[in-house]
Amino acid sequence: MTVQAYVLVRTMPGQAGDALARIQSIPGVSLAHAVTGPTDIIAFVEADNMDALGRLIVSRIQQAPGVTRTTTCVVTPIPR
């Protein structure tokens, strides 16, 4: 089963554009947008499992230029 998550990304001042361009090009990132508020970028990502999700975030998203911090919000199904 695929794991989906929203990744909230904070960047250094003036670096959101470069970080966004890099994050949008990463395989597994379905959408990424610059936003206002305490977070600079929100990305929606998908991976095969939790281990792959962790690798995607640590080795790819956190390595984008100017990224200083990420917060991962894993999507969880809620029974009706």
User: CA of 50: how far to CAs of 6, 11, 75, in Å?
Assistant: 13, 24, 11
pLDDT digits (tens, 9 = 90+) for 19-72: 999 999 999 999 999 999 999 999 999 999 999 999 999 999 999 999 999 999
The pTM of the full predicted model, rounded to 2 decimals, is: 0.94
CB neighbour list of residue 32: distance below 8 Å, 6 or more residues apart: 20, 23, 24, 41, 42, 43, 44
Residue 4 tokens, joined: 């989906």
Helix or strand run (H / E) with residue 9: strand 3-11
CATH class of 3-74: alpha beta
Residue 31 tokens, joined: 């959408």
Give me the residue spans of the domains in the chain: 3-74
